[in-house]
Structure formats: structure tokens, C-alpha cells
Structure 1
Amino acid sequence: MNRTKLIDIAEDWFYQQDWKPFPFQKQTWNAFLQGKNGLLNAPTGSGKTYALWLPIVLNYINENPDYKTKHKPGLKAIWITPLRALSAEIKQAASRVADDLDSKMTVGVRTGDTTASERTKQKTKMPDLLITTPESLQLLIATKGYEKIFGSCTAIIIDEWHELLGTKRGVQMELALSRLKSVAPKMRVWGISATIGNLELAQKVLLGNETEALENSVLIKANIHKKITVKSILPAKIDSYPWRGHMGLHLMREVAKIIKSSKTTLIFTNTRSQCEIWFQALLEKYPEFAGEMAMHHGSIARETRVWVENAIKNEDLKVVVCTSSLDLGVDFAPVETIIQVGGPKGVARFLQRAGRSGHQPGKESVIYFLATHAMELIEASALKNAAEKNIIEDRVPYLNSYDVLIQYLNTLAVSDGFYPDDIYKEVQQTFCFQNITADNWRWILNFITNGSQSLERYDEFKKVEIDEAGLFKINSRRTAMQHRMQIGTIVSDAVLSIKFVSGGYIGFIEEWFASKLQKGDTFVFGGKKLEFYALKNMQVLVRKASVKRTAKTVSWMGGRMSFSAQMSEMLRAELYAANSGNMTPELKALEPVFSRQKKESIIPNDNQFLIEKFKTREGFHAVFYPFEGRFVHEALASVLSYRISLLLPITFSLAYNDYGFELLSDQEIDLESVFDNNLFTADYLHEDLQQSLNATEMARRKFRDIAVISGLLFTGMPGKFVKTKHLQNGSQLLFEVFRDYEPDNLLLQQAYIETFEHQLEEGRLLQALERINNQEIVVKNCEKPTPFSFPIITDRLREKLSSESLADRIAKMTASYMKV
């Protein structure tokens, strides 16, 4: 059957569904059936899934003319999804195509949620089409005889590739692909992505540095303009808008109006704590939503999350308050409206969430932006502009993630073993390890067999044995079991399950929060008021608490999100536009704030760098405004305070947010004199960062994750996890051993590199300093905190005061300021 005939069959199938194929779908069918690899870029809800399931099934039918009478069992295609929650929908689409075309192909799912009995069945008979996750794929590679399992595979699809690129899960996929391409030489590799800027690089990372694979590949972009309508939720009077975030609850009435006028609304929050607070506040203010409102975040029990997802599809819910747990791919046709609470800090995340509404070809996506404080309206204006111009962030891939490579080699050693020369050639073909040297490779092989130079005396680190033929193999059943249990690159603090004393699983909270609870304490989780009873067998036992009792909201550790580079650039552009009088509705709404800012200081233009100075009872404040994002400001504040301290004896308190940072001291700084000493120079930046931020301490914390991923530390058995403090102590001991006795240890070096490149964003910091050096530095002496400085100051107070006393303090500060 020729290719034209196969594409005709695909088109006919579309017409039977009352659909019309888009050009990008036909392009994908044609390229796949030609045997090409590729990356497909198309908007959310445009039919990307069928662009690849159809040619996969048609290719099998074409290559097996007697498929109806002589079906050949075995794995034909793998579909990788970054989220287990998406697997049911992807399976439904695959089954629909396979059954309608009478292909006789079976469809299966293998994730962490797959039952033991189903996994046992798959050992003897794999489905033809398998939907799985990066971690479950690694577990399959850790299975004896995996080469036979994958040998007949003709395609692997990596869905939502933008979510994996730039993460260690992406490196995990790169390594898996390097092996599977050798095991299954007929396998086509395809990626699917919606929101990503650097598509060409994404394609190269996906396919690796193998020239033949790249030359036999295509990049298909769907020329579909997905209409995204961005609306800002504005109060009647901007004067009443808080100058600092209060969760956005002051606009609850406007939110309720939107909910009531829509079929189904998703309210996205940036954190799980904020999700809990919004759910509770809405329910208390509008009890009529009870029964039609639910909550969805990653710490809630899986059964509850699945129920919520099904209830959305079945139109049983009016509103769902959620986090990024509902960001990706699930097709919620009834969803009409999205509300984003607070700045999402990135364009891609915002557009991904917008795509949850109108999640069908040709449908409009509607998203409301709810700024939690006045300055976030500038973000709203920038996001609206980005949506109109389709500006999306680039994803920066990882390089030389040796911890992931070590885990991968142990995975191969657990299954059938490996010969180093063969695997070295494959690893070199990946983007991540394209520059790996022979010396690096020998160090890694020595590490997995002898535990590296400083650990050679300890047998527990000698995991891999070498047989007479040179095969590297893990023979210890205990080591193999521990490795399989710890496969993955997502490292978080230890979590404890929450259960009612009477029985019934609710979800999980982090160990650090649970350790602070005393018997009788009340907290809110999953929309329920719970009373802590006891901590037993790594489980938090609770009872239902009295409704009248006050309760704390569960909080989770983890750094705050920061602006992406593109978001920072767009924010500055909006600010400069406001200064020139080119005002969007959001910026016009900020006119009272801008007027007061101009009265007390200035709004900088693109040639100016603003520094504000003022004195309060706390001391002398110097506030700098690079508008580069929280992480860059944290590093820059530390570098500048360090450089100033070299010139004069002084101590600073630091505060920062996405707009700027504050240096607070008990004596006034003579800024002119420090400017003369090249305060903003990019020279010696790396050395100053090391000195100012105690890079060793930051690298020590980063090393914990590296130690877990590489298998240096074992996190424990199910239900018997090693406590976080014990993991931290263990990793610190290893870190100090390597630092003192083996400074060239690749994992130690990786900890420092990741600290500077990923946590401190040294590259962006360097660019920021170069930009500032080309601007006019404007120092304004102010009488009081300005609207721009107010959120930064109150962020510092937030660390010192409880939420109640902080709200009172901010109210007094605002009242005092507004009188002026």
C-alpha cells in the first residue's frame, strides 16, 4: 500500500469523526510514514495526539498485510508522558484509532499507578502500544531481557517535550533514547511540544548528535493561530489595590461573578498553600458553591485527583482551584474560563494554563489575570502582549549531569549488564554528554565499581562488578532492589501520608511541617479541617476538627518562582512604555500608583537605572531596580553588599523580589564613592559570588539531590523513608570528604556548577551587570518608601512577622503613607 493510500485512510477516519485534518497533521503522517524522525510543534488542543497515533497504527498495518489473521505480539510503539494523569486520555485516543482501523493492536499503560498484577502480565506479554513515563521506562530498561522487549519497537513519542527539556528528567530521556536506538534500529523518534521558543535546539536535544538521525528528521510547525483572550480583573478603584500581595482575596467578588457566568472555571494558583487558602475562602464566602467546587494539587490523594478530573469532564463541577497539577494536556472540553491568581512568572506557563480552556481545535481560550498587588498589573500587560505576539521562553538543556549518567549505568548493570566501550559511544551521541572525555568516563566507571578514590575502602559503594569478559553487572539482589526503588530524578523532602485514625487516606505533607505539629493542633488540608492526633509509622494520623476552631494552612518547602529571562525583558519594556505614555488598560489602571511614584521618585526609562534612598526607623534603605527576577536579584544584592563591605565597615540586611532588591543598614552609604570603585563591574563576578553567597554552603545543599540521584544515598523503603535531616547529614559528610580529599570528584564539581548556572543564574546576572553599566544611574533621595519599593520592604517584614501581625503592619504603613 503506497503512502498516499495510507494518508487517504487517515483522512477518511478523520471525516468519520466529523473532523477535518489540519495541514500539520497531514505533514506529520507523511513524514512518519517516510520513516523520518521529528519534532511537532502545535498549539494545545489542536489534535497533536492523533497526528502521531494514526501513522503509527497505519505503518503497522502496511508492514503486516496479514495482520488480521497473523497478528504479531510485542511492543510496537511507546508514548512517553511526563504526567501519569495524562495516561488514561492518551490510552483512550490510541484505543480509538487502533479499534476503528481494526488493527488488532492492544494498548496498555505502565506508570507508578499500574497494579502489580498488570505489571506481571506485561512481563510475559507486552501491549503493542504502551503509554508510560520517563521513570517507568527506566524501570523497564532495568528488566532482564529488556533488549528483547524493545527490539520490535518502531516508534517512540515523547509528549510535552518542553516540560522535560531543561530538566534532569530530560537528560534521563536522552540516555534512554541513546540505548533504545541501538536496541531497536527501526525506531522513529518524535517529540511533541506546544509552548517553547528554541524549537531547533529542542529538536537537536531530542535526536542527539547522531548526524544520520538529524539529517533524517523534520521540524513541523502548525500554522494555527490559537486565539487567546487575556482579561485583567480590575477593581473599581485602583487606590484600594494593595501595594503588596494578599493572595488576591480582595477581588473575590469579581472572581465569583466570573465563576457564576461560566460553565466550568479553573482557578490556577502558584503554590499548594495558596490553593488551599483560595478554596477555603471561596467556600466560606460563597457556601452555594459547595458540591460544585473542588481542589486539585499534587499532595492530594491520587483517587481524589482522578475523581476531580473525571468530574470536570462530566461537567459535574462549576469551579476547581488548582496548581500546576492541571497544567498539562488533559482534555477538559467543558472548561470555558481560566483564572490565574498572581504572576505566573513565565509566558509559557501562562499560555499553557490558558490552553486548558477552549481545548479543542478552533476554540478560543479565555484567561483572566488576577494581580495580587498593584505592580503585578505590569505583568498582566506584558503577558497580554506576549499572547498577542506569541512570544515564548527558550528552554536551556542540561550539560554533563553526571548523577543522572551514573544512575543510568547502574540501571543497565541491574538488567543484563553492559560493555563500557559500546555504551560510551551511545552516551557521546546525546546532547547532554556530547563533550564527555575519556578521563570523565573512566572516573565514572571507577565510581560505580569502586566508589571513587576516597570511598574505595567502603564496600557499600562498590555496586557494579566486572566479569572476565569485561561485562559490568550488579549481582547483589539488595543493591538491585534499592536501585530500582530509587530510579528517578525528582528529589524532594521526605513526605508523610495523612490518614484518619478511623482509616482513609487523604494525601501527604512534608516531614518538616508534620514535625512541628503537636497533639490537638488543627490544620487545613484538601479543604478539610483536621486535628493532629499522632505521628506513627511515618504516617500523620488525624481526626476531623471542629469547624469553629482556628486552623493553620499546610505549607510546603521549596524556593519561590522567579521571572524567566523573557518575562523580565517584557516587564521592562512595559514599564518603559508606561513612562512614554503608551498605556495599555492595565497600565492606565495603575495611573494613581505611577503618579505617586513620579511624585516621590521617577519611573525609569530604557536608558536609566534607578536607585532609591530613604530613611525609616529601621535604618537607611537603598533600593535598586534591575527588574530581572528574584533569583538574579538575590545574587546581585549579595555581590553588591559584599563589594561595598570591602570599601567600608558595614553590615546589611537584604530583601528582594522580582522587581528589585534592598540593602538596609544602620549607616548611610555614600553611593557616589562606591560607584567610583566599579560597583557594577562584571569583572571578578564569579569570585565575588563565591565569597558573598557562601557558595560552598549552597553547593552542599545542591549536593544532597545529586547524591540521591547518583545512588550515594538511599532514601529508604516504602513506608520507612529516611528522615530528611538524616539524608542531609549523610550528604554533608560525603560532601566534606570529597571537598577535603577528592576535589576533582565530578559530582562535587557538578554541585558547584549547578549552584552557579541553575540556582544563581550567573549568565543572566552577567548580562544584567553589562546592561546596567550602559545605563545612566539615577539616585533619588526619597522621604518615604515609594510604591515600587513598598513590596520589597514588606517581603522582608514577612520573614519576621506572622501573617496576622504582618497584615496589620502593612495596613498601618499604607495608611501612614497615603496621608502624605
Structure 2
Amino acid sequence: ELLKVIVKADLEKKIVIQSILPDHIDMLPWAGHLGHKLAHKLLPIIHKSKTTLIFTNTRGQAELWYQNLLKLDENLAGQIAIHHGSIDYELRNWIEDAIHTGVLKAVISTSSLDLGVDFKPVDTVVQIGSPKGVARFLQRAGRSGHSPYETSVIYFLPTHALELVEAAAIKEAARTQDIESRQPVVMAFDTLIQYLVTLAVGDGFDDTQIFNEVRETFAYRELLPSEWSWIMQFITTGGESLTAYNEFSKVEKVDGLWKVISRQIALRHRLHIGTIVSDAMLKVKFITGGYVGMLEESFITKIKPGNSFTLAGRVLEFIMIKDMTVLVRKSKLKTAVTPSWMGGRMSLTANLGALLRKKYNEALDKTHADEELDIIFPLFERQARVSHVPKDDELLIELINTKDGYHFFAYPFEGRMVHEVLAALIAYRLGKVKPISFSIAMNDYGFELLSEQPIPLDEDNIKLLFSPDKLGEDIVASINATEMARRKFRDIACISGLVFQGFPGKYVANKHLQSSAALFFNVFSDYDKHNLLLRQAYDEAFYQQIEEPRLAAALHRIQASKVIIVKTESYTPLCFPIKVDSLRENMSTEELGQRIERMTAEADKKSEIHK
């Protein structure tokens, strides 16, 4: 047994984290994701630093901040730039060099500059909005003061009031080194298949020797001899269901070693070595003709036929996905689920969620040392007055009846992705009590179920709704798990070499890749149920997209918590951001602004009554 040792420097990296605070809490909106109300406080930071890197969570946010900073200070023209994945590669390289040489004073960037780039250090880093995780925030902070002996300086600019609590939580996490561990990918059969064919394209390999070598890695330490036999059969004959097709018989034994003999197979394989497969965008089209817009694939795979969603201000009923086009018709419903986009879909990590619950505990406690909690104190006073501020051993549920319908808000603080599945799960379980349709909205703090009918809630047995019993069955029943696995299989088919992605400059269209992968998925589902690539597709759907282990852990925590149910007359500071997110898709910016003002005024009026 080899002795494994982790070498760690006995050196504490100094990081200075400062929040950009409003003069008073009313300067910050209760909801939003841009943070422009504090833009004037960012200008002095840019001017006093030689170079500044400003991180945003989405490309759209980066574009808007660029325009806003130029509007506030015209002298920044030619001194600031934007950096994200949609910008030309050569221009991105020029921007990276220009900030290093001092030609540029500031760069507004997405995650394109936080990982995997050999980027020269800057003086100051600014994070706009929640980074969603402690590790991501500290990684970005490290872009300033690169040397172990230098101090990294990062500013946190909140986009809405409740993000001040996240700022306090991140500071504590950095101080206590409570950083998320990265979960390694295990049993990725598609990657192992690609690795073996790569060896076979080279000098060839001995299967016994490579099996022992692969078993010594963490990722494949549980690989069974039967699974290895299946993989060897797959690369040599195509497996049980593809034996009749010569193109899948890629590897054969020559002089005791497994090799690829075909020059065409070797060429095709070399062209597509790698495991990065981008998330596809799907066009949304009326079944009668006419395009509506674009949606990310990972959102639409969770929608079942007959369910509705909003896009471009319209409520649409999902019919089917044909090739890479989402076919819809106009829905008769007034409300529906709101799409989540990649930037907005980054989910709060479990570590940060736990720290947030702790900070909510301390919010009304004057003994804490967090300046952020001092600023937000009036908002928490209001929350306590009209509803309740949840402690870390409590689950708060708010029931509100408005002219829009009957609202059910719950606050597990488990992140957007967990809440998306949890909301569908609770809606399904309520629907078993009484047939009822819901529209669903969520953010990192909680979720909303909205119905036109009274919600059949048994308050005495509320924990049954959040029970971890029969979780797997209910998840499959409440969301389209097979379609999610089918979409995951597209990536797996590309990585494992089942589908050819085309020659350089003549890439196969996404819809053709999807139809080819879908054909394999259907064949394996019908005739090869023990196919390891099929198993991997379902595993990845459940553990990566649905995050079933984290959802189960959250439900177990809720079972041990006290459930607080509050019936309130108006929107509260906690539910306000969720409600605004659900409205954003249906309204223009101007209409939304007016609606938010009206909702805020109504909440203020009701709050005064409670004083």
C-alpha cells in the first residue's frame, strides 16, 4: 500500500474582503441582479487602483455594466473593456495583454478569467453580485496579489439587499477556511472508452496491464471486471446491440496488443479527443410556424409535455422537442414556470447555504461584528414584524393570498438547482392530495408555488410534504427524468465516439448530433438495458443535474427542523426577490419597474399597519 501524503505550505494567504455598502438600506432594492444603484461607489475604486478586474455572473450583466460605467464617467472610454466567451479569441488576448501593460484600467469579465487562464495579476478585484460559492469567490480574489506573500484585495458589490448577508457569510468562510471541496467525477465510462481508443490509436495497449493501472485511479477504483469486459467488448465489436455495424469495431488485437488499424477511424478519433461538450441552445417555435426565441437545453428537458413556461412575455404550452427545436402552442394559463438561464442558474453551494442560515440566526442579534448585518438590520426588523426570520434549525413557509392567486413560499436556503427540483416535488405531492396546477419560481433562498385554487395544505402534517421517503420514485414522477437522461446521453455519445461531430469547418449540426444520439439512446433502452453508457446518462442526470444526494440531505435536515408557517397579507422582504424573478419574463423592464414600485409601496403600507 502506497503512503499518500498531501504537501501543504505552512503559509496563510492574506485576503482583504471589503463590502461596498449603501449609505442606507433603502439605496438597495429588495430584488434584482444588476447592482447599478451602487455603480457610483465603484468609480473611486477603479480610479485609485492601477488595474481592476470586475467579475459578473452573466455575459448580459457584463455588457450592461460596461455601458453603465461609461455613462457615469465618459473619461473611462478606451480605458475599460469586456471579456467573455462570446468575444473573438484574438480580441480577448489583446485585452489580457492590455490590462497587464496598463493600457486598460479595468476589465469587466465573466468566469472567462477566473479559471484555466494564465492571467497576469491585477491590483484590485471586484465581485458584482453573489459568487454562489466560497471557493469561486476566493479563486477570483486570487487574481490580485498573486504572490503568496502579497495581499489579495477583493470588493463585494451587492445587487440587492439580501446579498449583504451573503457578503457577511463569505467573510466568515474565508476567515475559518470553510471552503467547498470539489467532488471528483467517478465512473465516467465515456472518458475511459475515449482513453482506451486513444491508446489503441498510438502504440496499442495490453488490456490486463491497463485494467490494473485504471483501477489504481480514484475515479475508477470501483471498476468491476465485468464492467471492464463490457468496455472491451464495446470498443472491439460495438457491444451487444451494434455488433452488426463494422464502424463500431474500432480496436483489434495485433501481436498481443489492442490497436486501431483503420486510418479513417484513427483520424476521426484524433479530431475529437477531449471531454468539453457545450450546452446547446434550442430554438422555440410555434407548431403553426413562427419562432419565439431561444432556450437553454438543460431548462427545457425538465418540462413535461402539456406543461407551460414563459418566454418573450408569452405563456407557452410545451408540446415536444423535435431535433433541436422546441415546439409550443399558446397556453390558456395565465402563469407558468419561469426559465432559468446559465448565469442566473449558477446555484448556491451547500457550504454557503449553511453559512447563510447561520447569519440569519445572527441578523437580529446586536452582538455580531458584521457591518453588513448592521446595514440590513432594518430589513430584518421588517421581516420579523410581518412574518418571521428563520433560524438555522427552522424552515419558514409563508402563505399569501393576493389577486394573482394563492402563494406558497418556502425557504430551505439550498440553492436554485435544489429548489427547482424540490418545488416540482412538493407540487407533485400536493397534486396527489387534490388535482391542482401550479406555476413555479425559485431563487437561491427558496421557492414559490402559485395556484389559482386554494392550496390543499395539511398544516399538522406539513413534514410529510418534505419527507425523504420514496424520493427517487417521486422525482421520476414529478420531472421528466428520461428526457434529462436522453439529453445527457448526447454528451456521452460525443465523448465515447458513438457519434462523429464532423471534420474541422464542417461540423455536424447540433440537431443531427441529437437525433443520432437519441437513436442510440432508444436502441440501448430497448435492446441493451445493461449498457454502461446508458447507466452513466441516468447517473449524471440524478447526481449532477437533479443533485439528488443534496436534495435528500436537505429533506433529512428539514425533518429535524421546526416548521414555521406564517400567513401574511403582503409580500415580505424574503419572498420579494422570488416574486420579482417570476415576473421578469412576462414584463418589459419599464413595466417590471412600475410593478416593483407598486409592490414595495403596498408592502410598506402593510408593514406600517403591523408596527
Q: Is the CA contact (8 Å cut-off) linking 1:511 and 1:724 kept in structure 2?
A: no
Indicate the SS of the match to 1:786.
Answer: coil
Q: Is the 8 A contact 2:364 2:381 kept in 1?
A: no
Of 790, 809, 815, 2:595 maps to: 809
* Larger-Rg structure: 1
1:644 aligns to what?
Answer: 430
Report the equivalent of 2:408: 622
Out of 754, 761, 765, the position equivalent to 2:551 is 765
Q: CA deviation at 1:678?
A: 1.9
Deviation at 1:450, TM superposition (A): 1.8
- In the alignment, which residue of structure 1 is the partner of 2:303? none
Q: Does 2:87 align with 1:300?
A: yes
Q: Which has the higher contact order (CA 8 A, sep 6+)?
A: 2
- Residue 754 (structure 1) aligned to one of 524, 540, 555: 540
Following superposition of structure 1 onto structure 2, how do residues 62-461 of structure 1 map, counting pairs within 5 Å?
Answer: 211-212=1-2, 215=3, 217-328=4-115, 330=118, 332-333=120-121, 335-461=122-248
Which residue number in structure 2 is paired with residue 739 of structure 1?
525
Contact 2:82 2:107 in 1 (8 A): yes
Distance in 2 between the 1:489 and 1:805 partners? 43
1:715 to 1:558, Cα distance in 2 relative to 1, 3 A: farther
- 1:641 aligned partner, one-letter code: A
- State the shift of 1:786 in Å: 0.8
Question: CA offsets per residue over residues 606-645 of structure 1, 9 Å max, x none?
Answer: 3321100001222100001101111111121121111121
CA contact (8 A) 1:483 1:711 kept: yes
Alignment check: 8 A CA contact 1:294 1:319 kept: yes
Deviation at 1:804, TM superposition (A): 4.6
SS across alignment from 2:5: strand
- Would you say the 8 A contact 2:570–2:602 is kept in 1? no
**In the aligned structure 2, how far is the partner of 1:251 from the partner of 1:695?**
42
SS across alignment from 1:683: coil
Pair 478,276 (structure 1): closer, same or farther in 2 beyond 3 Å: farther
1:443–1:452 CA contact under 8 A, matched in 2: yes
Contact 1:695–1:755 under 8 Å retained in 2? yes
SS for the counterpart of 2:425 is: helix
Which blocks of at least 5 consecutive residues in structure 2 are unaligned? 285-289, 294-339, 607-611
What is the 5 A alignment of 1:490-569?
A: 490-493=276-279, 560-569=345-354
Q: What's the secondary structure of 1:416's corresponding residue?
A: coil
Change (3 A) 1:262 1:696: same
Check conservation: 1:579, 1:604, Cα contact below 8 A. Answer: no
Shift of residue 669, structure 1, vs aligned partner: 2.1
Q: Normalising to structure 2: TM-score of the pair?
A: 0.86
Q: Is the 8 A contact 1:369 1:380 kept in 2?
A: yes
Q: Are the counterparts in 1 of residues 412 and 446 from structure 2 also a CA contact under 8 Å?
A: yes
Going from structure 1 to structure 2, the CA distance change for 1:620 and 1:731 (only over 3 Å counts) comes to same
- TM-superposed CA distance for 1:267, in Å, is 0.3
Q: What is the distance in 2 between the residues matched to 1:223 and 1:629?
A: 34
What does residue 590 of structure 1 align with? 376
**Cα offset for 1:769?**
0.9
Q: Deviation of residue 600 (structure 1)?
A: 1.3
Structure 1 residue matching 2:241: 3-state secondary structure: helix
* Cα pair distance change 1:732/1:800, threshold 3 Å: farther
Provide the C-alpha distance between the structure 2 equivalents of 1:782 and 1:277, rounded to a whole number of angstroms: 36
2:440 corresponds to which letter in structure 1? L
Report SS of the residue matched to 1:682.
coil
Please give the alpha-carbon distance, in whole angstroms, between the structure 1 residues aligned to 2:464 and 2:342.
37
Name the amino acid aligned to 1:699: A
- Residue 359 (structure 2) aligns with: 574
Q: Find the residue that maps to 2:67 and give its secondary structure.
A: helix
1:225 and 1:604 map into 2 onto residues whose CA distance is 35
Report the AA paired with residue 592 of structure 1. P
Against the structure 1 CA distance between its residues 627 and 438, is the aligned structure 2 distance closer, same or farther, given a 3 Å change threshold?
same
Q: Alpha-carbon deviations, 1:683-720, whole Å to 9, x = none?
A: 11111111111211111111111111111122222222
The match for 2:581 among 792, 795, 805 is 795
Structure 1 equivalent of residue 506 of structure 2: 720
Q: Secondary structure at the match of 1:455?
A: coil
- Which amino acid in 1 is paired with 2:120? F
- Structure 2 counterpart of 1:574, one-letter code: K
CA contact under 8 A between 1:493 and 1:724: conserved in structure 2? Answer: no
| Counterparts of 1:596 and 1:486, CA distance in 2 | 57
Identity among equivalent positions (%) equals 52
CA distance in 2, matches of 1:559, 1:693: 21
Q: 1:556 to 1:382 in 2, by over 3 A?
A: closer
Q: CA deviation at 1:558?
A: 7.1
Residue 469 (structure 2) aligned to one of 677, 680, 683: 683
CA contact (8 A) 1:331 1:359 kept: no
Aligned counterparts of 2:343 and 2:593: Cα–Cα separation in 1: 23
Could you list the structure 1 runs, at least 4 aligned residues long, displaced by more than 4 angstroms after superposition. Answer: 510-513, 555-559
Q: Which amino acid aligns with 2:348?
A: F
Local SS of the residue matching 1:488: coil
- Tell me if structure 2 keeps the 8 A contact 1:647–1:674: no
Task: Pick the aligned partner of 1:486 from 265, 272, 278.
Answer: 272
- The letter for the 2-side match of 1:332 is K
- In 2 relative to 1, CA 563–676 (structure 1 residues): closer, same or farther, beyond 3 Å? closer
Give 1:802 deviation, angstroms.
4.2
CA distance in 1, matches of 2:449, 2:89: 45
Q: Structure 2 CA distance, aligned partners of 1:677 and 1:265?
A: 49
- What is the SS of the residue equivalent to 1:735? helix
Is the Cα–Cα contact under 8 Å of residues 190 and 495 in structure 2 kept in the other structure?
yes
Query: Could you tell me how far 1:674 is from its partner in structure 2?
Result: 7.5
Amino acid at match of 1:578: A
CA contact (8 A) 1:579 1:605 kept: no
Q: Following the alignment from structure 1 to structure 2, what is the Cα–Cα distance between the partners of residues 709 and 618? A: 47
User: Which secondary structure state, in structure 1, belongs to the residue aligned with residue 167 of structure 2?
Assistant: helix
Are 2:518 and 1:693 aligned?
A: no
The Cα offsets for residues 63-116 of structure 1, whole Å up to 9 and x where unpaired, read as: xxxxxxxxxxxxxxxxxxxxxxxxxxxxxxxxxxxxxxxxxxxxxxxxxxxxxx
Q: What is the identity, as a one-letter code, of the residue corresponding to 1:417?
A: G
- Which letter does structure 2 place at the counterpart of 1:491? V
Alignment of 1:600 with 2:386, yes or no, is yes
Superposed CA deviations along residues 416-460 of structure 1, whole A, max 9, x for unmatched, are: 222211211111111111111111111111111222222222233
In 1, Cα distance between equivalents of 2:176 and 2:124? 21
Answer yes or no: is the 8 Å Cα contact 2:35–2:157 preserved in 1. yes
SS at match of 2:70: helix
Tell me the residue number matched to 1:464: 251
Matches of 1:511 and 1:686 in 2, distance apart? 28
Contact 1:238–1:590, Cα closer than 8 Å, also in 2: yes
Whether contact under 8 Å (1:419, 1:470) holds in the other structure is: yes
Is contact 1:228-1:354 (8 Å) kept?
yes
Q: C-alpha separation between the residues in 2 aligned to 1:386 and 1:647?
A: 42
Q: Give 1:489 shift.
A: 0.9
1:358-415 CA deviation, whole Å, 9 max, x = no partner? Answer: 2224222111101111111111110111122222111111221001001111111111
Residues in 2 aligned to 1:421 and 1:760: alpha-carbon distance in whole angstroms? 36
**Residue in 2 aligned with 1:777?**
563
